[in-house]
Amino acid sequence: MLPRKRGVDAGEVQDLHNKAPRPAAPAPAQDDPMAARAPEIDEDLHSRQLAVYGRETMKRLFGSNVLVSGLQGLGAEIAKNLVLAGVKSVTLHDDGKVDLWDLSSNFFLSEKDVGQNRAQACVPKLQELNNAVIISTITGDLTKEQLSNFQAVVFTDISIEKAVEFDDYCHSHQPPIAFIKSEVRGLFGSVFCDFGPEFTVLDVDGEEPHTGIVASISNDNPALVSCVDDERLEFQDGDLVIFSEVHGMTELNDGKPRKIKSARPYSFTLEEDTTSYGTYIRGGIVTQVKPPKVLKFKTLKEAIKEPGEFLMSDFSKFDRPPLLHLAFQALDKFRTELLRFPIAGSADDAQKLIDFAISINESLGESKVEETDKKLLQHFASGSRAVLNPMAAMFGGIVGQEVVKACSGKFHPLYQFFYFDSVESLPVEPLEASDLKPENSRYDAQISVFGAKLQKKLEQSKIFMVGSGALGCEFLKNLALMGISCSENGKLTVTDDDVIEKSNLSRQFLFRDWNIGQPKSTVAATAAMAINPKLHVEALQNRASPETENVFNDAFWESLDAVVNALDNVTARMYIDSRCVYFQKPLLESGTLGAKCNTQMVIPHLTENYGASRDPPEKQAPMCTVHSFPHNIDHCLTWARSEFEGLLEKTPTEVNAFLSNPSGYATAARTAGDAQARDQLERVIECLDRDKCETFQDCITWDST
């Protein structure tokens, strides 16, 4: 559940272009034939996505072909997210070779991959995430004509000149091809989206339509509608609503959307004259109508000159996006003219980039930036070669979600530029150029931003991570790539009392189908050590609670440098928070729910702790808790419903699929993962052999057992 307040393998694969025809346009209508041709959705694997996206959106996603160009850390994160989401195909493009700098951000790569083509080196481990997705590579130059094979194309390392050429082609193509350009440069990142001249958003926010139960409707102009006061209405001025089951004033039951205004907690006025309507008697349900929204995107060539409003993520930096818009253009000019990145710590290179930025700014006329922050541009220039894992992970999630929006039409897309920086993450004391020099290690990219001294502190840190599910897998990967707890004096302790289920595989990417039934913490720790063999990690299966304080005792807590929460319930969060407060340890707290997320950094004596403010009650139980530790009536009811559906709906459906087409079923079983195929076959065998029902009485007997 989401706590807290929201803010926001081996071998070359044949080119995809000879295999996959281009499907229909992005964001097709619900009766789109492409959606009908999409493969059946494995509900056990994609249950969480189905709950967020819906079946029609998932079918559109399953029919989409996507190109990811540039397989440094950012490209790898985007590809990982798309493969887990289950698009039809992902084509990787990169003509560069793996070097040591890539190992601090691309978790698919290792030292043995140095010198190989980046795209080809990523294929084996990427394919393990989802065998149903076609993964292929392009290792040479990319032409704009090749883009016609895709619904969406993503570029993570491309010049502005080339990006303009590709975007113009995508924008004018029929149907338009969604174009995304994203970069991560040190502690700075950017995203640009162009989904075509007219892009239809079918569902702006993905939320269920708000409803209310009518208590009274006046015969007036405008009419006043009052609702029962047991739950506040969530309507806003301008919303469209429809009425149903109204007795008396039946004229409102015509299904016509009507606009509301003056929305209050339990009432609103209707922009309609009801004086001539029947008198309201009783009943009635009012439901929000969510009309589609059409967005008209500018091309990159147009938008870079007139960017319009930037998406803000930090209102304390409201003047930052225009400056970063200049900075990324200046870096592009620097790379074009000097054929390299600025050297970390070089004052001369930083000054060159600043001069480029000032020159570009002067050419903007009235829309130029009033003041250029030279210190910020120096930081930008110094770390611009580095692709840092935390930044790549963050932007990989954002861009992956934008691709889903482009292919499905669900959720409002990013419109059109987004810039972000985390310059406050730099050490307080000034960094010397000598401290930023590469050491010929896998951490060189990180050293070029934070310095060698901080890198050594990270390697010696002692961290406690509670939980190794969806967030836990991401955190473990990030910690391993950053080198945290990777020296002899460092140690990472991870604990989780849950085991791996099939539904985990669509988002907990450190697990594979052959790990089903195994402890999450053990498998996740082993996978993290494969990413960075120097990681010192201990995996436990203990629940962190008052009952296990003999394991996580005072000496254990005193030894820690920081704590990371990757939990799914408030009770456990409150307990860990209380221990961190008692022992004065920093705590990284976070949570996700569908497409929403939050994070909170708790620093002793500096910020409020997690328990200082309370969350609203949980509306639904976390599924991993339901399946493993149902300890209240809501958990037990949810568990019983899940078991009922599995036995009386999913199993008969599986058997009927086999009986209707045995050969096709067998073919599908061969191509499925081992655990998936075994699970399905066991269901079929159980119904047709071990528990076969010959008579109606047999059915009654089977059902009662």
Residue 492 near residue 479, CB atoms below 8 Å:
yes
List residues with catalytic annotation. 624
The whole-number pLDDT of residue 29 equals 37
Distance from chain centroid for Cα 516: 23
DSSP symbols for 503-533: GGGGT-TT--GGGTTSBHHHHHHHHHHHH-T
The whole-number pLDDT of residue 493 equals 97
Residue 501 near residue 516, CB atoms below 8 Å:
yes
CA distance 168 to 145: 12
The whole-number mean pLDDT for each consecutive block of 10 residues of the chain, a chain of 705 residues, reads 37 32 36 47 76 82 95 96 94 95 94 95 94 94 94 97 97 97 97 97 87 93 90 89 93 92 92 93 92 95 93 90 96 96 96 96 86 93 96 96 93 95 92 92 95 96 95 96 95 95 89 92 96 96 93 96 93 94 96 86 94 69 57 71 71 77 72 56 72 74 65
CA distance 12 to 119: 9
Token pair of 529, please? 């050590």
Residue 331 near residue 384, CB atoms below 8 Å:
yes
Residue 611 near residue 575, CB atoms below 8 Å:
no
The whole-number pLDDT of residue 703 equals 65
Residue with tokens 């700098």: 101
Half-sphere exposure of 258 (CA within 13 A, CB side): 24
Which of the 8 DSSP states describes residue 272?
Answer: S
Closest among 177, 162, 183 to 418, alpha carbons compared: 183
CA distance 251 to 255: 9
What stretch of H or E contains 65? strand 65-69
Neighbours of 555 (CB within 10 A): 7
Confidence (pTM): 0.81
Token pair of 670, please? 């061969």
Residue 280 near residue 248, CB atoms below 8 Å:
yes
What stretch of H or E contains 562? strand 562-565
Residue 517 near residue 500, CB atoms below 8 Å:
yes
Residue 185 near residue 386, CB atoms below 8 Å:
yes
Q: What is the largest CA-CA distance in the chain?
A: 87
7: amino acid identity, one letter: G
CA distance 163 to 299: 10
Closest among 562, 599, 552, 611 to 584, alpha carbons compared: 562
The whole-number pLDDT of residue 678 equals 61
Token pair of 411, please? 């959720």
Q: Which long-range contacts (CB under 8 A, 24 or more apart) does 316-320 make?
A: 317/421, 320/376, 320/419, 320/421
The whole-number pLDDT of residue 10 equals 27
Closest among 244, 275, 276 to 257, alpha carbons compared: 244
For 353, phi and psi rounded to 5 degrees? -65, -40
Q: What is the 3-class SS of 566-632, one letter each residue?
A: CCCCHHHHHHHHHHHHHHCCCEEEEEEECCEEEEEEECCCCCCCHHHCCCCCCCCCCHHHHHHCCCC
Taking CA atoms, 667 is separated from 62, 129, 658, 677, in Å, by 19, 20, 11, 10
155: amino acid identity, one letter: F
> How would you classify the pairing of strands 65-69 and 89-93?
parallel
CA distance 153 to 167: 9
DSSP symbols for 132-166: TSEEEEE-SPPPGGGGGG-SEEEESS--HHHHHHH
The whole-number pLDDT of residue 705 equals 61
Token pair of 22, please? 């281009």
Beta strands in 175-323 (DSSP E): 178-185, 188-194, 199-201, 211-217, 223-227, 240-244, 258-261, 267-270, 285-289, 293-295
Q: How many residues does the chain have?
A: 705
> What do you get for the CA distance between the two ends of the chain, in Å?
34
Integer-rounded Cα radius of gyration of the chain: 27
CA distance 202 to 30: 10
Which of the 8 DSSP states describes residue 31?
Answer: T
Cα four-point dihedral sign 533, 535, 536, 537: negative
